[in-house]
Amino acid sequence: MIEAKGVGLTFQTADGPVDALKDVDLTVGRGDFVSFIGPSGCGKTTFLRAVAALESPTAGTLRVNGMTPDAARKARAYGYVFQAPGLYPWRTIAGNISLPLEIMGFGKADRAARIARVLELVDLAGFGGKFPWQLSGGMQQRASIARALAFDADILLMDEPFGALDEIVRDRLNEALLELWKKTGKTIGFVTHSIPEAVYLSTKIVVMSPRPGRITRIIDSPLPPDRPLEIRETPEFIALAHEVREGLREGHGHD
C-alpha cells in the first residue's frame, strides 16, 4: 500500500537547509494500522503529508498503491483527518460530509446514501441535520472522520486526530476507531505522541526521532486484533509500551 525507500525531505529555511526526513524506509501493507510516534520535529507529520502529496520528498522514492503520491491522491487513494475537525460552520454535518463528494462529482442520490452510511459508521446517525457548533468536540472529530471515509479511500491518514480532546473522550474514540478499522479493513496511518494510544491501536508502531527526522525502530505488535480497553493492564501491553519508550529514549541519546 505505502512503500518508502530512502525518502528524504529537506526544507530550505532562512537558517539554511533543515532535514525534516532522512533515509526513511518503510513498507505498510494492506489493512495495517500503523502509528508514527516521536517527539515534535521528528518528521512524523511530514512523512504523513508526503504520503498525502501535501509535501514533496527531495530524495528517495515514495509509492502509494504503486503510484506516485500525486497520482494516488487523484485516484482518491486516501482520506486525511487533521487535528482540528475543520468543519464548515455554514454547513450541516451532512453538508460537511457532502463537501468532498460534491468536489469529486458524485451524484445527489449517491451522496445521500454515502452520507447516511458513514454517519452510521461513526455512530452519528441522526445528527446529519445538526450544525457543527451543536456537537461536542469528540462528535465533531467523528464527523470529520466520516467525511474522510465518505469517498471510499482505502487509506486513512490521521494526524493527531484526538490530540485536542480530553482523556475520557479520547479513550472512547480510540475504541470506536479500532472498531471502525476492523469493520472497514482500511489501512490507517496514525500520528500521535501518546505511547498508550499508539500501542493500543496499532499493528505496527514506527518510532521516530528528530534532527534529522528518521525512523529509529519499527515494532510489530503481538497484541490480538480484539482489544478491549482493559488490554492496557495486561503484561503484554505494558511490555510493548516499555519497548516503545526505550525506542524513544534511544533516539534522544544525545539530548
Partner 1 sequence: MTEAASAAPGRRLWDGLQARALPVLTVLLAIVAIWYLGAIWMNGQWVRDQAARADTVLTTAEFIRQTLALDRPVLPAPHQVAAGLWEGIAGQRITSRRSLVWHGWVTLSATLAGFGIGTLAGILLAVGIVHNRAMDQSVMPWAVASQTVPILAIAPMVIVVFASAGITGLLPKAIIAAWLSFFPVLVGMVKGLRTPDAMQLDLMRSWSASRAQQFWRLRLPSSMPYLFASLKVAIAAALVGTIVGELPAGATAGLGARLLSGSYYGQTVQIWSALFAAAALAAALVMLIGAIETLVLKRMGLAR
Q: How many CB atoms lie within 10 A of CB 146?
A: 28
Residue 103 as a binder of partner 1 (CB under 8 A): the answer is yes
Q: With contact defined as beta carbons under 8 Å apart, do 97 and 146 qualify?
A: yes
Q: What CA–CA distance (Å, rounded) separates 107 from 98?
A: 10
Does position 100 interact with partner 1 (CB under 8 A)? The reply is yes
9 near partner 1 (CB under 8 A): no
Interface segment toward partner 1; rule CB under 8 A; list 58-66, 78-86, 219-227, 228-236: 78-86
Q: How far apart are the first and last CA of the chain?
A: 35
Nearer to partner 1, 132 or 251 (CB): 132
- Across the strands, what pairs with 158? 81, 190
The stretch among 16-24, 31-39, 46-54, 167-175 that binds partner 1 (CB under 8 A) is 46-54
Given candidates 5, 18, 82, 245, which one binds partner 1 under the rule CB under 8 A? 82
CB of 241 to partner 1, least distance (A): 30
Q: Does 74 bind partner 1 (CB under 8 A)?
A: yes
Window of 119-127, 130-138, 212-220, 229-237 that interacts with partner 1 by CB under 8 A: 130-138
Q: Is 89 in the site for partner 1 (CB under 8 A)?
A: yes
Contacts with partner 1, 210-249, as mask; x by CB under 8 A:
----------------------------------------
Q: Take residue 143 and report the three cell numbers written for it.
A: 464527523
Please enumerate in sequence order all residues whose Cβ is within 8 A of that of 242, keeping only pairs 6 or more positions apart, or say none.
none
Q: Which stretch binds partner 1 (CB under 8 A): 12-20, 81-89, 121-129, 196-204?
A: 81-89
Contact 72/78 with Cβ under 8 angstroms? yes
Residues whose CB is less than 8 angstroms from the CB of residue 70 and which lie 6 or more positions away in sequence, other chains included: 53
Q: Which of 128, 3, 120, 115 is nearest to 67 (CA)?
A: 3
What distance in Å separates the CA atoms of residue 122 and residue 175, rounded to the nearest whole number? 11
- Report the relative pairing of strands 2-13 and 59-64 from DSSP bridges: antiparallel
Identity of the residue, 136 or 234, whose beta carbon is nearer to partner 1 in the bound complex: 136
Chain contacts with partner 1 (rule: CB under 8 A): 49, 52, 54, 73-74, 76, 78-80, 82-84, 86, 88-90, 99-100, 102-104, 131-133, 151
